[in-house]
Every structure is written in C-alpha cells, then in structure tokens.
A and B are shown apart, each in its own frame.
Chain A
Amino acid sequence: MTQQKMKRDPGANTSAQDTVAVQLLRKHRNDVPVSGWRLLAKRLGPVGLISLGIIALVVLMAILAPVIAPYDPYEGSVTARHEAWSLAHLMGTDQSGRDILSRIIWGARTSLIGPTIVILVTAFLATTLALTAVWFGGRVDALISRMLDILFAFPNMLLAILAVAIFGPSLLTASIALAIGFTPYSARVIRSVALRERNLPYVASAQLQGISGFVITVRHILPNVRTQILTGMTINFGYAMIELAALSFLGLGVQPPTPDWGLMVSNGQASLQQGYWEQSIFAGLAIVITVAAFGYVGEQLGGRRASGRTR
C-alpha cells in the first residue's frame, strides 16, 4: 500500500512538488525582511512611494519647525484674528490671531511624538511577551495568553481614557495606555509567526548544543518576526495618531496652548460655526493625509494587497 503510494504518476508528483515549492518560495519572499531600496520600492508601488514621501515630509516638517515656520506658533495678535488665507498667512490665522500654517508645522512635532511613543512601547511589550510565551510555552504561554485576553476586553480608547482619569491628562499617559491597548493585537501576530520558527528542527538542535534560550530567541527567532513587528508599527502609527488626536480633541491629551493637530481641530470648532473654517479643516486634513500615508505603507509592507486579486 505504502509502496504503491510512493509510485504515483510522475507528472502528478512533480506538479505537487512544484506547487509546494512555489508556495514556500512565495511565503519566504513575504517573510524576507525589507532590505534595500529597490525591494522596498517594488513592494510599495507608486502610491506607496508617494505615501512614503508624505511621511518623510511630515517628519522633516517636525524636525525643521523652528527654521521653516514663518511665525511663532504661540504668539498671535488681537488685530489679526480670523484672517482668511493670504500671502502673509498662507492658511490664515486662528481665533487668537496666530498663524495657522506655523501651528500646523509645529503641531507635527506633538502629533508625531505621541504615536512614536505608542508604537515603540507596543513593539517592545508585544515582542517581549510573544517571544517569552513562545520560548517557554506551556504554563507561561497560557498565563501570558490570559493576560492578553483581559486586555482584549478593553476597547483601546477606554483604556486610554481610564489612564487619563487616574493619572491626569497628558500626552505621555495617553500614549502609554494606548500602547498597552495595542499590545495584545501585535503580540498575537508575532506569537504565531515566532511559534512556527520555534518548532523548526534547527532550534531544537541549537538547544541541544547548549545555546541558551535567550540567545536563540534574540539571534534566530527575533529576526524572523522583524517584518511583523515593522508592519505592525507602521499600521499602528496611523491608528495611534487618530486616537491620540481624539483624546486631545476631548481635552484629555495634549493641553493648550501647545500646537497639536487634534487640539487645533477642537479649537477651531467654535470658529467653524461662525464660518471660519481654516483652522479645523487644515488641521484635520493634516491628520487624514498623514494617517492615510502610514496606513497605505503599512499595508503594502505587510504584503496584503488592498486591491485584491483578479484572475
């Protein structure tokens, strides 16, 4: 019986092997960490490259704010309130006569710092928890999974708002709380990929050679989840930006008069009712464009093509 099974028709056999090999290759290609500009550019496609350009622009704006902002973001003049856009004020002025463009440029700083904290903390927590769970398995894995289940029960925004309730409104508090909320989602993805790697024979043989679990994890397993960590960070960045902006909008995040996009949308609400749309709309658009850019790049990096597959 087994003998006969071995002797299948050769064509069928090769074709089966082909498919498996091709599948492996394909999988492998998706798992290769992004390295080299050409590969990156190919992954991203034209829209992805534009998105990457937008991200670079926003980052540059944040870094060079003191140099490129035409006005002081804090100083307004009572005589120049609610000015429409003009050559002097490209985006007009707000209710305190401050230059909106300058505040958007400076606002890039606070608007980027929060999400950066979120994704760094998330990546650290999720990777540590996932790799610990995978390496020790058994009880440790079960315990960590239960912990994550509890976190799953809290909607992210609720977690952030509770943290603010306890520790008082601040960007740092809100960011760390959001990061904790994001952790179970990222940890789950990393854990499943790491688990696949953990079960490969070479890990067992390394273990037999007496190499410590920590070293194997860091040297061999960690590099294999790099893509997942990176993709997660890019996608989370956009979501973090939206949620932090929402907290600032509620007055629970960044505090005035610090320039921040979410806060500017909120500050402009009253003016908007009177027809002065500039502040809210420009600040809102800044958020939309940045988040969309991060979302698109993240998705392309993750290899999930949003356009779907046509035959």
Chain B
Amino acid sequence: MTYVLKRLGALAAVLVVSSFIVFSGMYLAPGSPEQFLVQGRTVSPEVLASIRAQYGLDDPFLIRYWNWLMDVLQGDLGRSLLTQQDVSALVASRLPTTLFLAAFAAILITVLGVGLGVLAATRSGAFEKLVVFGSNLGFAVPTFFAALVLMFVFGSNLGWFPVSGSGEGFADRLWHLTLPAIALAFPGIAVVARITRTAVREEQGSEHVIMAIARGVPKQFVLWRHTIRNSMLPVTTVLGTNIAGLLASAFVIEYAFTLDGIGSLLVNSVQKKDFAVVQAIALIMVLAFGLINLIVDLLYAVIDPRVRLSKGAAAR
C-alpha cells in the first residue's frame, strides 16, 4: 500500500514538472498568442490590450503558470483560443472514442499477441515459422500504413466495415472501430507474439518445468500452471509498454480514419496552434501513460512473488 502511495506521489510530481515543461514550451513558442486570436486582422492597440488583459497575457510567467495550474487542479482546462469552447468539455466529449479505441486495441494485442505466441511455441512446425516471420515483419508495419491497407481492402473494396466516423452506441462503435483498432494493434501484436513465443520456449526448457514432467504432472497442468504462467512474467512488461503507448499512437489512427477522438483533436490543434487544447491533451496523455505503467508494475508484483518482497528496492 505504501508502495502504491509512493508511486502515485512520484507520478504527481512528474505531472507537475511535465506540466511546467509543457506550459513553458508553449509560452516560449515563437509568435505571440494574440496574433492567433486576431487571426491576422488589423486591430487597434486598445483592442489588442484588452485581449491581452482578458487572457492575462501581461502577467509574469510564473503567475500565469500558477493560475493555470490551479485551474487545472479544479478541473478547468481553460478555453480554446480558436473556438472559445471550454477545453474540459471539448476533451470530455472526445475522450470516449479514444478510450474505446485504445481499449479495443489493447484487448486485441493481449489476446492475439499472447495467443499467437503461445500457439507458435507449443505447435512447432510451419505455423511457428509463419508466426516468427510475421512478427519480424509485422513490427515494421507503420500503423497508418496498416490503416490504409485495411481501409482499402475491407472498407472500400469489400465494404464490410465503415472507413470513417466512430459510430453511436456500443455495437455500432465496435463495428466502426474494428478496422482502426486492428491497425493500431498491429505492431503491438507482432512484438508481443514474438516475446511470448520466446518466453514460452525458454520456460519449456527450464528446470522446474522438466521437474514437473519428471514428477508425472499431467501435460495440461505443466503447460498452463508452469510453462505459460511463468512465461507471462517477461510478457507482462512488454505488453504494458505496448498498451501504454497506444494512447499516444492512437492519434495517427484517428487522423487516418477521421475519428473524433482526442488524438485527432490534438493533431488539429497543433496544426492550428491552439495551445490551450494541446497543453490539456498532453497532460492527459502523460497522466494516462503514467497510470498504465503503474498498473502494469502492480500487476507484475501480483503475479511474481519475488517482486512483491523487494518492494523497497522497486520503489527506490
């Protein structure tokens, strides 16, 4: 428990520092924010001054950061410089699509990646060679390329799946997000399948598995309780890294499939220099990344008793 609190504390500290870095980055960006606000129109100095006052642009940097941080802590992420929309509301309306997409892809990576890896390791021969070859090539497929190919084959040509939009309601969403999720999961599946296969193979030769066979433990128990269970230790780490990275790589897929998630919002905001939105989404991504990594570490401690005991060392 203290371990979890410590880690959460560390995460909070990282978030504060990150927010400072992001905020100062935006502050130092060339071109002043009021230029975006006036959109190149000629305005009188008085109007300009009032705009600056309205957004608190004349306050010293640290005070602006402090005000912004306090607002964020109260759930107020500010207003979009372009549309004047409330950023919290905007992000909240976009978040479900991204979360759905990332969760969908995470499930695909876990089920297909681990599944293919285990099958490859336990059924030698052509299938194993195919998985090894596929995973060596698969990790090299950029998600956006996979997206285009899937769109072309299953969307435009076969017409089985929609190629844009994210749908309403669970079933419709599932249907709309199937191709995007597959594209997003593709490299992850390849990497996880490869690691899983190697891990299971290694475990098959381990002393305790051979001992279990020598003791006459039935095959299924040896396979599941000893071989697969133990090989999941290294797999968990890789699975975690891949799933944590999903949120951040989702924006490429959202952009390709024109989905209304926070990723495509981020890309659009970057293109239009809407810093209030960029800042907010960046923080959310750092938070999500940190949380998923924390969960993975905790999960690891649950499945490996050796980790649980060296808590102190892990917290360092």
A residues in contact (CB < 8 Å) with B: 149-150, 153-158, 161-162, 164-168, 238, 242, 245-246, 249-252, 262, 265-266, 268-269, 272-273, 275, 277, 280-281, 284, 287-292, 295-296, 306-311
Contacts and interface: CB of A to CB of B under 8 A. Distances in A.
A92 B244 CA distance: 40
A272 B152 contact: yes
B48 interface: no
Contacts of A288: 137, 140-142, 145
A252 B144 contact: no
B142 A245 contact: yes
A211 to B, nearest CB: 32
A149 B316 CA distance: 13
A158 B271 contact: no
A246 B270 contact: no
A296 B28 contact: no
Nearest 5 pairs between A and B by C-beta? A155-B248, A308-B201, A291-B140, A292-B140, A284-B145
B56 to A, nearest CB: 20
A226 to B, nearest CB: 25
B249 A277 contact: no
A287 B18 CA distance: 33
B271 A252 contact: yes
Given A295-B139, A306-B194, 19 more contacts: A154-B18, A155-B249, A156-B248, A158-B248, A162-B282, A167-B30, A245-B142, A245-B144, A246-B249, A246-B252, A252-B271, A272-B152, A272-B156, A284-B148, A292-B136, A295-B140, A306-B198, A308-B202, A310-B205
Contact of B201 (A280, A284, A309): A309
Nearest to B197: A308
Interface residues of B, number: 60
B22 interface: yes
B198 A153 contact: no
Q: Is the interface of B mostly helix, strand, loop or mixed?
A: helix
Nearest to B270: A165
Given A161-B267, A164-B270, A167-B29, A281 B149 contact: yes
25 contacts: A149-B10, A150-B14, A153-B18, A155-B285, A156-B248, A158-B282, A161-B266, A166-B29, A167-B30, A238-B140, A249-B144, A249-B255, A250-B255, A252-B270, A265-B144, A268-B148, A273-B151, A275-B156, A277-B152, A284-B149, A292-B136, A295-B140, A306-B132, A308-B197, A309-B205
Interface string B10-27: 100011011001100110
B300 interface: no
Nearest to B246: A155
Contact of B18 (A150, A165, A250, A290): A150
Interface string B288-307: 01100000000000000000
A156 B246 CA distance: 11
B286 interface: yes
Interface in B118-136: 121, 132, 135-136
Q: Is the interface of A mostly helix, strand, loop or mixed?
A: helix
B148 A272 contact: yes
Contacts of A153: 14-15, 18, 286, 289-290
A262 B278 CA distance: 23
Contacts of B151: 272-273
Most A CB atoms within 10 A — which of B26, B139, B140, B148? B140
A290 to B, nearest CB: 8
B214 to A, nearest CB: 14
B205 A311 contact: yes
Interface string B199-218: 00110110000000000000
A262 to B, nearest CB: 8
B29 A165 contact: yes
A99 B19 CA distance: 46
A157 B248 contact: yes
A70 B279 CA distance: 46
B116 to A, nearest CB: 14
Contact of B145 (A287, A290, A311): A287
Given A156-B248, A287-B142, A308-B197, A162 B286 contact: no
Contact of A162 (B22, B163, B194, B197): B22
B152 A284 contact: no
Interface in B248-271: 248-249, 251-252, 255-256, 266-267, 269-271
A165 B280 CA distance: 13
A56 B9 CA distance: 49
B162 interface: no
B245 interface: yes
Interface string B93-137: 000000000000000000000000000010000000000100111
Nearest to A163: B25
A168 B286 CA distance: 22
Interface in B144-167: 144-145, 148-149, 151-152, 156, 163
Contacts of A162: 22, 25, 278, 282
A249 to B, nearest CB: 5
A309 B121 CA distance: 11
B6 to A, nearest CB: 13
Nearest to A299: B136
A310 B201 contact: yes
B27 to A, nearest CB: 9
A284 B142 contact: yes
